Chain A
Amino acid sequence: MKMAVSVSENDCISFVKMKFIDNVLYFIPENYENLESDYFGKLVPTLSIIRNLQNQVLFINHEKQPVLEAMTDSDCADNAADTTFNIHVYKDSHARGMAVAISVMCNGNHTLSCKDKIVSFKEISPPDNINDTKSDMIFFQRSVPGHDDKMQFESSLYEGYFLACEKEQDHYKLILKKKDEYGDKSVMFTVENKD
């Protein structure tokens, strides 16, 4: 079986000019036709409830922290404002999976962020466009192989790090961690769409 590799004509970009501005070298391409800057572009959102495998529901508490707690369905419905999350799907210039941002409307729009590997809510709406391939607010939602109802959220900023549920003292909170080699169910969540 031969493995032939050839460079297709469309892989090369010709540059016509370059310029040094502020210690950064900029290039001007011959034509912008096939070029697209790195970005995430927001599409439509869906309303969902996120639970972990122990059936604990994710919600935003009074201190604006992401926590998980067991809730009955009626409790969940009563606290709909805190438990209903907006999952915004983004189109990605560098397709690696379904890029999403998770936000909740509770006294203002709060978006989940994993900046500095700490999971917290930022008091902003998910931006319409992000000019980068990495963002602290964007996660890749992928299903667990063989278990189509279970999802994992990998951070676009820290590769190999996933949103997970961890017990801290008496409550459970959402953290960012590296997946355990030998099986880790704390990174798996179920997403129930409310539409």
Chain B
Amino acid sequence: MLPWGWLFLWLLGTQRIAGLSTAECPTKNLLWTYSPGREEEFVLFCDVLEPQRPRFSHGSQHSPTQVPGALPCSGSEDLSGVQWYLQRGDTGPLEEIAGGHPHITQIKSVLHFSAPEMAEAGTYVCRARIRSVPDAPIGKHPKFSTLTVNACVHRTRVSPRRAPDVDVAYCLKTVLEVRPHTVAPCNASAPHKQYLLLGTVGAIHCPGLSCREDAHRAEVTWYQNGRVLSGEKSDSILVDDIYDYHQGTYVCDYALSPNASSWTARAVVKVRTIVADTKFKPDIVYPTKDVLEVELGRPLTLPCTVRFGFQRNFNPVIRWYIRDADQEWEFPVFQEKSVKSTFEEEVIERVIFLKEVTQSDLRRKFVCFAQNSIGNTTQTIQLKEKRGVVFLYVLLGTASTLVGVLAAGVLVYTYWIEILLLCRTYWSKDETLGDKKEFDAFVSYARRSALSSEDPSPLSEEHLALSLFPEILENKYGFTLCLLERDVAPGGVYAEDIVNIIKKSRRGIFILSPNYINGPQVFELQAAVNLALNNQMLKLILIKFCSFREPESLPHLVKKALRVLPTVTWRGLKSVPPNSRFWTQVRCHMPVKHSRWCAWSQLRAVPRAFSPERTGWVGNRWDAVTV
């Protein structure tokens, strides 16, 4: 039985709360007179200004002690779960205002009205639970907030050993009436948006009161951002040193007329703290340079970042123009946003987007134009093609080609004579019918010196030159040879004779040996080489009779010739018989009979000629293909 009784009582209790008649709530009458057409805001607070008995308590015997003059702080930390309702007319259902209304927003415990024309007059009821600490001595040090703008008392929390915290329900009924101004407000009426200059002295005026003559006698209640400014009672708030914390939403409440029944007029002022208007033109932060490197065919995002100084009537202008020859037109914007916004400045960025950079874009000039009421600035930017990767390859190729050409040039210069001799030897045409030469070949050999008393053995150079060569080449193969002793008339100048003979010969055969190289006959070789270089019809054949060392004093040309020219090695007795390989090779080099089967032996001679470190003759590397 008993539990059912408690349950019944509890249910009754809850019923009482739900069906709480609004008649028991303290009522406030507010009037909102607005100027039609002007932007104005209005707010309703759920503030408890008078001490009232709690409606429902958990068993605490006393009502929370109220220190006279002290108000429980209706800061958000104390109010929880504020619910607003609208009641049209005196009787009628309570409609919850929960975000469904487009022009009414609830921020914490405050109801904001954004458009006066759409605001509904009626009764607005707010219900809140205030966390009230059961009476504890206020404490030795009541903590007042430093600037004493709000003389509410923050009670010190007591340990939970005492009676538990009490959640006390409050309600407040506000009758709102919305009326447009019937009479136009006077010229001196304060606006609903007011500005305070930082660092100076200023004042905030209550808009509704500024036109009344008895304004100075009115009792005004001021609120800043929802908190009561208990120190301010007159129609304007004087601020003697303006700081950024003075910015906010101020509300001034005043009695409509002393005898009228408790109607209060309310006006809302939005106060902004500002710095003085800038005296400068806007400043283009980016782009700074006149040229921008871009890649053809790729998209491009071009931002223009401009810094504007603060201005109260701020009308920034940023535009991108394209200048092409004589024409100039505006580029459609892709994106514009504010990058940084402080008290002193505003940085805005306007971005244009090119889907693909074309050749024609490279010829145009892009101009960023920024303007404020002081003046304007421009920055022109030109697009330039970025040297792509392809260009790098081209550069590399050109460089390597140049290096190659240079190296080739150096090589050619160093080995010019060798090259020339080689060319003449192997690649020049051989004419015997057309040329005016007398002899097929001229034979040069070391003459036996007077000091030598040896008998000319069958294997001496002289024998080779004077006996074997004529016997085989002239008699057997029918060549015409020229021998100095035999064919030249005595009495002439030696040098002249030599030159003449060589000019008249198609070939020059030189029998090389230590005697030859170190003797005076080497002049003949030198002359022949000179002539061969000048005269394409002369080819030289070297016969290596026996190995020798090249002396240092040898003329430069001769040295080169020795390296390059075709050499046939004399192998002593083996080479004597007419059908030996020696004679075959010699015949190979002789005129007219330039047959193809000589070619392979000629080619073998080429690699040997190009070794520059030779000081002596390396052994003949003919493979054993004996003929």
9 cross-chain CB contacts under 8 A? A145-B273, A146-B197, A146-B243, A146-B275, A146-B343, A147-B199, A180-B145, A180-B146, A184-B147
Q: Which of A1-9, A10-18, A27-35, A87-95 contacts B (4 or more CB under 8 A)?
A: A1-9
Is residue B245 within 8 Å, beta carbon to beta carbon, of the partner chain?
Answer: yes
Instruction: Tell whether, in the assembled complex, residue A184 and residue B146 are in contact, meaning their CB atoms are under 8 Å apart.
Output: yes
| CB-contact partner of B242 in A146, A181, A185, under 8 A | A146
Enumerate chain A residues within 8 angstroms of B197, measured Cβ to Cβ. 146
| CB-contact partner of B245 in A1, A2, A4, A183, under 8 A | A183
A181 to B243, CA, bound (A): 12
Enumerate chain B residues within 8 angstroms of A145, measured Cβ to Cβ. 198, 243-244, 273, 275, 342-344
Instruction: Tell whether, in the assembled complex, residue A146 and residue B199 are in contact, meaning their CB atoms are under 8 Å apart.
Output: yes
User: Which size class do A's interface residues fall under?
Assistant: 10 to 19
Interface residues of B in 474-500 (CB under 8 A from A): none
Q: Closest Cβ of chain A: how far from B199's Cβ, in Å?
A: 5
Is residue B39 within 8 Å, beta carbon to beta carbon, of the partner chain?
Answer: no
Enumerate chain A residues within 8 angstroms of B342, measured Cβ to Cβ. 145
Q: Closest Cβ of chain A: how far from B618's Cβ, in Å?
A: 56
A182 to B335, CA, bound (A): 38
Instruction: Tell whether, in the assembled complex, residue B243 and residue A1 are in contact, meaning their CB atoms are under 8 Å apart.
Output: no
CB within 8 Å for A183 and B343 given contacts A1-B335, A146-B198, A146-B273: no
Is residue A84 within 8 Å, beta carbon to beta carbon, of the partner chain?
Answer: no
Interface majority SS (helix, strand, loop, mixed), chain A: loop
The 5 closest A-B pairs by CB, nearest first: A146-B198, A183-B245, A145-B343, A145-B244, A146-B199
Q: Closest Cβ of chain B: how far from A188's Cβ, in Å?
A: 9
Q: Which residues of A line the B interface, CB within 8 A?
A: 1-4, 144-147, 180-186
Instruction: Tell whether, in the assembled complex, residue B343 and residue A182 are in contact, meaning their CB atoms are under 8 Å apart.
Output: no
Instruction: Tell whether, in the assembled complex, residue B337 and residue A3 are in contact, meaning their CB atoms are under 8 Å apart.
Output: yes
Q: Which residues of B line the A interface, CB within 8 A?
A: 145-147, 149-150, 197-199, 224, 227, 242-246, 273, 275, 334-337, 342-344
CB within 8 Å for A183 and B336 given contacts A146-B273, A147-B243: no
Instruction: Tell whether, in the assembled complex, residue B242 and residue A2 are in contact, meaning their CB atoms are under 8 Å apart.
Output: no
Enumerate chain B residues within 8 angstroms of A185, measured Cβ to Cβ. 243
Q: Closest Cβ of chain A: how far from B149's Cβ, in Å?
A: 6
| CB-contact partner of A146 in B149, B150, B244, B335, under 8 A | B244
Instruction: Tell whether, in the assembled complex, residue B147 and residue A1 are in contact, meaning their CB atoms are under 8 Å apart.
Output: no
Q: Closest Cβ of chain A: how far from B339's Cβ, in Å?
A: 12
Enumerate chain B residues within 8 angstroms of A147, measured Cβ to Cβ. 198-199, 243
CB within 8 Å for A182 and B198 given contacts A2-B334, A144-B243, A146-B343: no
A28 to B569, CA, bound (A): 72
Instruction: Tell whether, in the assembled complex, residue A182 and residue B337 are in contact, meaning their CB atoms are under 8 Å apart.
Output: no
Enumerate chain A residues within 8 angstroms of B245, measured Cβ to Cβ. 181-184
A2 to B333, CA, bound (A): 10
A1 to B348, CA, bound (A): 13
- Residue of A4, A146, A180, A185 with most chain B CB atoms under a 10 A cut-off: A146
Closest to A181 in B: B245
| CB-contact partner of A182 in B199, B224, B336, B344, under 8 A | B224
Q: Closest Cβ of chain B: how far from A82's Cβ, in Å?
A: 28
CB within 8 Å for A144 and B146 given contacts A2-B335, A182-B224, A182-B227: no
Instruction: Tell whether, in the assembled complex, residue A183 and residue B243 are in contact, meaning their CB atoms are under 8 Å apart.
Output: yes
Instruction: Tell whether, in the assembled complex, residue B145 and residue A3 are in contact, meaning their CB atoms are under 8 Å apart.
Output: no
Enumerate chain B residues within 8 angstroms of A144, measured Cβ to Cβ. 243-244
| CB-contact partner of B147 in A2, A4, A146, A183, under 8 A | A183
Enumerate chain B residues within 8 angstroms of A2, measured Cβ to Cβ. 334-335
A145 to B334, CA, bound (A): 33
Instruction: Tell whether, in the assembled complex, residue B336 and residue A1 are in contact, meaning their CB atoms are under 8 Å apart.
Output: yes
CB within 8 Å for A180 and B147 given contacts A144-B243, A145-B344: yes
A156 to B85, CA, bound (A): 46
A165 to B101, CA, bound (A): 48
Closest to B242 in A: A146
CB within 8 Å for A1 and B337 given contacts A144-B244, A146-B243, A146-B275: yes
20 more contacts with CB within 8 A, not counting A1-B336, A146-B242, A182-B149, are A3-B335, A3-B337, A4-B335, A144-B243, A144-B244, A145-B198, A145-B243, A145-B273, A145-B275, A145-B343, A146-B197, A146-B198, A146-B199, A146-B343, A181-B245, A182-B147, A182-B245, A184-B147, A185-B243, A186-B146
Closest to A3 in B: B337
Closest to B75 in A: A181
A180 to B199, CA, bound (A): 19
- Residue of A147, A180, A182 with most chain B CB atoms under a 10 A cut-off: A182
Closest to A53 in B: B241
A182 to B148, CA, bound (A): 10
Enumerate chain A residues within 8 angstroms of B147, measured Cβ to Cβ. 180, 182-184
CB within 8 Å for A182 and B334 given contacts A145-B342, A146-B242, A147-B243: no
Closest to B337 in A: A3
Enumerate chain A residues within 8 angstroms of B335, measured Cβ to Cβ. 1-4
Q: Closest Cβ of chain A: how far from B442's Cβ, in Å?
A: 75
